Amino acid sequence: MKFSCWLPIILFVLLTACAAPQVPLTAQARASIQSVESVLIVPEESLTIDVKSSGSPLGPGLIPDLMAVIATRSKLSEAKLSAIPILQQLKEYNFRAVLQNAFAEEAAKLKPPFGPPTRLEINDVASGKKVSFSESRAGLVMFTIIDYRLESGSLIINALVEMIPKADPLMQYRHSANNSDPLDEGNVIYRKTFTHTKEFITARNVRKNLTDGATSIARQIFTDLNQTP
C-alpha cells in the first residue's frame, strides 16, 4: 500500500468547492437535460491516513507554529504505523468497484436522465475532468470527485458533485458563465458537496464501513437530485 500524492490536490478541489457557492439544480434546468454522462473520479489507490492538525496552546507566533507542525508530523507518523493492520485488510478490497455498485443501485431508484457512472477516472482531478468532458457526447457531464481517508481514527468520505453542460439549451442555466473555459467552476448548473463520517475504525470493521460509506454517499447524492424542485 502506498500513500498517493494526489491527496493535497483532491483536498484543495474539495475545500475550494466548499468555499464556492453550492448551486442547486433548478426545475427548469432539469427539464432541459436530455442526456447525461456520469463520471466518477477516484484518484486514490488506497485509504489515505491523516490526522487533525495540532494547534499550539501558546498562541500565534513562529516558534509555536513550528512546534505545532512537529507535533502534527509526529502524530501522523504514529497514525500510519497504527493503521498498518487496517490497510492490510484492504489489499483485496476494491473501493472503486464498491462505489460504482452503490451508485448503480441508487441511480436505479431515480427517474432518468440520471444514471450510474459510465466512466471511471483514476487520474488526477484536472486531467480526469478534461478528458471526460472533451470525449463525452452527452449534453451534460456530471462529475463526482471522491476523497476518502482515515483521519484520527475516523473514516471520512467526501464527494463533490458538479454538472457542467455541453448542450446549448443548458448554457443559460450556468451559475456564472465563462465561455473561454468550459470547465471553469462558474459554468456549473449544479454543485453540491456531501460527506459521510464514521468513528472508531478498526481492521475488523473497515471494509464494512467503507461499503456502508459508499452507499451513504451515493444515496445522499441521488436523494438530493430527486428532491430538485
Cα–Cα dist 22/87, whole Å? 34
Higher-confidence position of 132 and 11: 132
Question: What does pTM read for this prediction?
Answer: 0.84
Question: Does the pLDDT of residue 9 top 50, yes or no?
Answer: no
Q: How far apart are CA 65 and CA 70, in angstroms?
A: 9
pLDDT for the residue numbered 5: 44
Give the per-residue pLDDT at 3.
37
Mean pLDDT calculated for residue range 24-51: 93
The per-residue DSSP string of the chain comes to ----TTHHHHHHHHHHHHHSPPBPPPHHHHHH---EEEEEE---SSPEEE-PPPPPTT-SSHHHHHHHHHHHHHHHHHHHHHTHHHHHTTTT--HHHHHHHHHHHHHTTS-TT--S-SEEE-S-HHHHHHHHHHH--SSEEEEEEEEEEEETTEEEEEEEEEEEE-SGGGGGG-SS--TT-TT-GGG-SEEEEEEEEE----TTTHHHHHHHHHHHHHHHHHHHHHT--
How far is Cα 67 from Cα 182, in angstroms, rounded to an integer? Answer: 44
Residue 64 has a pLDDT of: 55
Confidence of residue 202 (pLDDT cuts 50, 70, 90): very high
**54 pLDDT tier (thresholds 50, 70, 90):** low
Q: Is residue 218 over pLDDT 50?
A: yes
Q: Please, which pLDDT band fits residue 6 given cuts at 50, 70 and 90? A: very low
75-96 pLDDT, tens digit each: 778 989 999 999 999 999 999 9
pLDDT of residue 226: 85
**For the chain, what is the mean pLDDT?**
86
178, pLDDT greater than 70: yes
